[in-house]
Amino acid sequence: MFEVSDSKTQNVEYFEPLQKSVADDQTCALFYKYFKEKVEITYSKMEFQTKRPITNAYKKARSMNAKNYMKFISHIVTDMGICYTDDKDKVSEVWVKYKGDISVCIKQKLLYSKYTEVCTNLKYTTYSFDKFINNITTADTGIQEIIKNNTKCVKIDKFKVKKWLEYYRNEESNEIEVYDEGLVENLDDNDIGF
């Protein structure tokens, strides 16, 4: 996928001959021959999924076609914590440091209710509760199911979830993120309530 100029939008004089040439077998064969001879690919067809060029247009399409649960998680995860509103300065859940991890624990039912609100507002098809939880807690999401104070919760690991969201947000970072002590609460074993 490539992003192209919109300078020819609605230009019938330009697109009619282009459409005819695309429908012409000889033109298509020459186009194919050009790419086969002039574009160097240094990987096999089997490696295409992992080594294909990642263009800005491809990233944008990938982001637009992400599952709604991924869009929801991307929307609520901020540098300061979890925010259920559009005002990113009013964080609903602050990142906490506990046993070396920087994370947030949220009741599953609360998270699901916020997800269904967003889906209703945006007219998305809502996943069932079980399917939503199963999808967000798969490997590499940085989100896991836990039991806290006899309540089913999810624990969202700040750095792991951000790594997972790079795919959706079109970010790629090889840097190791360092947390800002001012944005993180430190908890001990006696302070893990809601």
Residue 152 pairs with which residues in a beta bridge?
147
Summarize pLDDT for 61-72 with one digit per residue, the tens: 877 888 999 999
pLDDT band at 1 (very low <50, low <70, confident <90, very high): low
Mean pLDDT of 147-158: 95
Summarize pLDDT for 19-56 with one digit per residue, the tens: 898 899 999 899 888 888 887 778 787 887 787 777 77
Q: Is 5 within 8 Å of 14 (Cβ atoms)? A: no
Q: Residue 179 pLDDT > 50, yes or no?
A: no
What pTM did the predictor assign?
0.66
pLDDT at 119: 93
The domain locations on the chain are 12-64, 68-186
pLDDT at 186: 56
pLDDT at 193: 47
Name, in order, each residue with C-beta under 8 angstroms of 128's C-beta and a sequence gap of 6 or more: none
pLDDT at 128: 97
Two tokens, residue 135: 């999808």
Q: How long, in residues, is the chain?
A: 194
pLDDT at 112: 97
Work out the mean pLDDT of the chain and round it to a whole number: 83
Contacts 24+ apart (CB under 8 A), 182-187: 183/79, 183/80, 183/81, 183/94, 183/95, 184/94, 184/95, 184/96, 184/97, 184/102, 185/94, 185/95, 185/96, 185/97, 186/96, 186/97, 186/98, 187/96, 187/97, 187/98
Helix or strand run (H / E) with residue 25: helix 25-38
pLDDT at 37: 85
